């Protein structure tokens, strides 16, 4: 098959698009290929070990935040199994990935993970996808033009939401969920007021430094408190004030008249 541009391709399976969307289908297919050539075997399964930055080298058209969102969605739907328990160092949070092949009836991998004696080359022809035959909407990428602007804003908010909650969990050792309605509302409301992701990060840094090791205040290191309408503005301003350099007190010179006029 002749391609418009001669370069390596990733297959796109229409039936899989119906299940997990275009982004999820592309990710799962590439993960499937990497699983076939992987040498990482744990618990009778082949695993793929990659950081989010590593994935952007395979999907150069996606940001790390987009990949985080895709992985999160596939994990929730059950198609993707991931863990960091196979890392030798506990501080290493890089994920190991595998596909739950039992969710794909008729797939030879559904019974169990098997080795592929002759793994496919990276160059695979793309099966043509007729968007008109799939029906709308397939994924959020195919929404009607009238809501494209709003879509971009929603995607940006989702990126911030995931990044902020992940950062908060890492700083506090807690496990807040991005699906929580109150958490989403707090963050989205602050973003609509003009605050940025950097504002959230600064507030988290400020309050964890102040409260993390104080039992009576540690419980307030939570989205509902940190990002509420009544608190967030105060915390942002508190952070701004704390950054102002302290003025050094003026110390008057000591004059010793016993050593002549030239000594000050």
Local confidence band at 116 (pLDDT 50, 70, 90 cut-offs): very low
For the chain, give the percent of residues with pLDDT over 90.
Answer: 34
Annotate 70-99 with DSSP letters as a single string: HHHHHHHHTSEEEESTT-SSTT---EEEEE
Using the predicted structure, report yes or no on whether residue 13 has a pLDDT greater than 70.
yes
Identify the weakest region by mean pLDDT among 34-48, 162-176, 250-264: 250-264
Mean pLDDT of the chain: 77
Domains and CATH numbers, the chain: 14-142 (1.10.10.10), 146-242 (no CATH)
For the chain, give the percent of residues with pLDDT over 70.
Answer: 70
Using the predicted structure, report yes or no on whether residue 146 has a pLDDT greater than 50.
no
pLDDT tens-place string over residues 117-144 = 444 444 444 444 444 343 444 444 444 4
pLDDT attached to residue 195: 87
pLDDT attached to residue 122: 41
Using the predicted structure, report yes or no on whether residue 109 has a pLDDT greater than 80.
no
pLDDT attached to residue 238: 81
* Alpha helix segments (H runs only) across the chain: 14-37, 52-58, 64-77, 131-134, 148-172, 181-192, 197-211, 215-218, 223-226, 229-242
- The rounded distance, in Å, linking the Cα atoms of 29 and 124 is 11
Higher pLDDT, 153 or 100: 100
């Amino acid at each position: 098959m002749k391609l418009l541009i001669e370069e390596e391709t990733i297959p796109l399976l229409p039936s899989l698009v119906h299940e997990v969307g275009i982004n999820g289908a592309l990710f799962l297919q590439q993960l499937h290929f990497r699983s076939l050539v992987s040498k990482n075997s744990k618990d009778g399964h082949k695993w793929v070990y990659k950081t989010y930055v590593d994935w952007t080298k395979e999907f150069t058209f996606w940001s790390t935040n987009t990949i985080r969102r895709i992985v999160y969605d596939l994990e929730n739907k059950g198609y993707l199994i991931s863990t960091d328990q196979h890392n030798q160092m506990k501080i290493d949070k890089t994920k190991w990935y595998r596909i739950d092949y039992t969710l794909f009836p008729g797939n030879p991998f559904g019974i169990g993970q098997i080795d592929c004696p002759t793994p496919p080359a990276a160059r695979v022809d793309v099966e043509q996808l007729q968007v008109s035959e799939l029906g709308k909407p397939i994924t959020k990428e195919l929404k009607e033009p009238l809501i494209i602007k709003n879509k971009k804003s929603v995607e940006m908010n989702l990126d911030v939401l995931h990044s902020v909650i992940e950062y908060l969990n890492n700083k506090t050792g807690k496990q807040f969920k991005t699906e929580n309605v109150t958490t989403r509302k707090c963050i989205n409301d602050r973003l609509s007021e003009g605050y940025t992701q950097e504002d959230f990060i600064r507030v988290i840094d400020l309050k964890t430094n102040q409260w993390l090791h104080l039992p009576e205040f540690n419980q307030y290191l939570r989205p509902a408190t940190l990002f509420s309408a009544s608190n967030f503005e105060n915390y942002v301003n508190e952070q701004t004030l704390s950054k102002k350099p302290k003025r050094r007190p003026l110390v008057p010179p000591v004059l010793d008249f016993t050593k002549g006029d030239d000594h000050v």
